[in-house]
Amino acid sequence: MTTSPHSLQRRLLVVVLGAVVVAWLATAALTWSDARHELDELLDGHLAQAAAILVVQQAKEGEDDNHGEGVDAPSLHHYAPKVAFQVFHEERLAMRSSNAPDQPMAGAVRDFKAGFATVQIQGAAWRVFSAYGPENDVHVYVGEEVDSRARILRAVLRSTLLPMAVALPLLALALWWAIHRSLAPMRQLGLALGRRQPSALEPLALDGAPTEITPMIHALNDLFGRIGRLLESERRFTADASHELRTPIAAIRAQAQVAMAETEDLLRQNALHNTLEGCDRAIRLVDQLLTLSRLESSATPAMTSLDLGPLVRRVVADVAPKAVGKGQTLELETAPDCRIAGSETLLSVLVRNLVDNAVRYSPRGARIQIAVQHNAGQVCLRVEDSGPGIADADLKRLGERFFRVPGNDENGSGLGWSIVKRIAAVHQLHVLAERSAQLGGLAVTVQARAAHA
């Protein structure tokens, strides 16, 4: 089942705007709670202060038993109906506001309790503060309608939260614009990739790219580089194969034609022998080309800890019949436990190329010495022969594709050293080719870091 693609811009906008809305709602709730608490504290304080004023006033008029009895205070403010007070003296109403009832606002006089209480008066909730006068027979009540507090709270919150609510759509628009503008480099990158030709492998430009997408561009450029090297390797392989296979195939064809035309058995046998040698050369060339192609196109092979000594012994045993056929002397010396990290298959190819080259390009009766030794934390493989050696100018060219030392009549493709250099690079080996001080021919030293078992 396929899923529809998600828009990064939409996701960012929803997440950021959702976080802003949640934060706004949390802020509004905290503001409402805190404002209601502070408003209640403030208005309760006003009630207590008003009661204190009445108490003081009652104390000044305490000498007159008939002071203000039954007097209704006038209403002087539009909020006055929301506030009421009463003064009782000896259980009789001595003073009240015009909207205050005749009965005590907070229970019966006999059950008088000082302090705050929320009561119902004529179907409305009131917040009432009760206090004693100068003497215990004077009771003062000051009340405020609870609904008026709610209206004040709503007015405070409206002036605070309404601008925030109006700003929320503007904030959403600003967030959309900022996210849309910030993601513009990614859209431009997508358009640039979409416009590229399949064969275009040049690096993408980094001018003005944000730091967030710079790693992506570097990764793409690295991918383009690897693809370019892979395509170049394939092109080289195709060109090399077509170039190099043309010669042995032509020679095989020519020898086959000679064999068909010859009437003498000896000459026919000689032509057939040359045909077989041409087939062997073509097979070796194809193997070398395929090995080099795999090395250049594949990733780093799996490395294991292996003992180089037994590996070299197996390779030398395989090459020994060819050396015996040329009357050459093979000398092998291996130290114990020469372990390195590497691919057994690739290292076998490396050793085989070095030993085979020594046997192939050394004359009959030559000496070839192979040694595997420890050397200051390194494992050293050394292959040297008593052949003609290589001039200093030609030593520098070893490893070039299809380069062969001039004046050598041995069959070969010139790819052996390219393979050796590539395998050495994969394994981080150090390869040194020089003249052998002991035997006079070519000496090749391969050094690797010793590995633990």
> In a 10 Å sphere around its CB, with 0-12 CB exposed, 13-18 middle and 19+ buried, how is residue 364 labelled?
exposed
Q: Compute the C-alpha angle 353/359/361, nearest 5°.
A: 95
Give the per-residue pLDDT at 403.
46
**pTM for this model (two decimals):** 0.46
Give the per-residue pLDDT at 62.
56
Q: If you write DSSP's letter for every residue of 120-133 in order, what string do you get? A: EETTEEEEEEEEE-
> In a 10 Å sphere around its CB, with 0-12 CB exposed, 13-18 middle and 19+ buried, how is residue 351 labelled?
buried
Give the per-residue pLDDT at 383.
92
Provide the CATH topology of domain 10-166. Beta-Lactamase (3.30.450)
Taking the chain (453 residues) in consecutive chunks of 10 residues, what is each chunk's mean pLDDT?
Answer: 63 81 82 75 66 65 51 50 78 79 77 81 84 81 81 76 79 82 78 77 74 79 79 67 62 79 80 79 68 62 85 88 88 90 84 87 90 88 86 60 48 64 85 86 89 69
Locate 251 and state its tokens: 């020679």
End-to-end CA distance of the chain: 49
CATH of span 196-299: 1.10.287
Give the per-residue pLDDT at 333.
92
10-166 and 196-299 have identical folds: no
What's the chain's length in residues? 453
* Residue-range domain boundaries for the chain: 10-166, 196-299, 301-449
Give the per-residue pLDDT at 119.
86
SS3 label, residue 224: helix
Give the per-residue pLDDT at 135.
77
Give the per-residue pLDDT at 6.
67
CATH of span 301-449: 3.30.565.10
Give the per-residue pLDDT at 300.
64
Tell me which amino acid residue 114 is. Answer: A
Give the per-residue pLDDT at 395.
62
Give the per-residue pLDDT at 313.
92
Give the per-residue pLDDT at 200.
77
Give the per-residue pLDDT at 384.
92
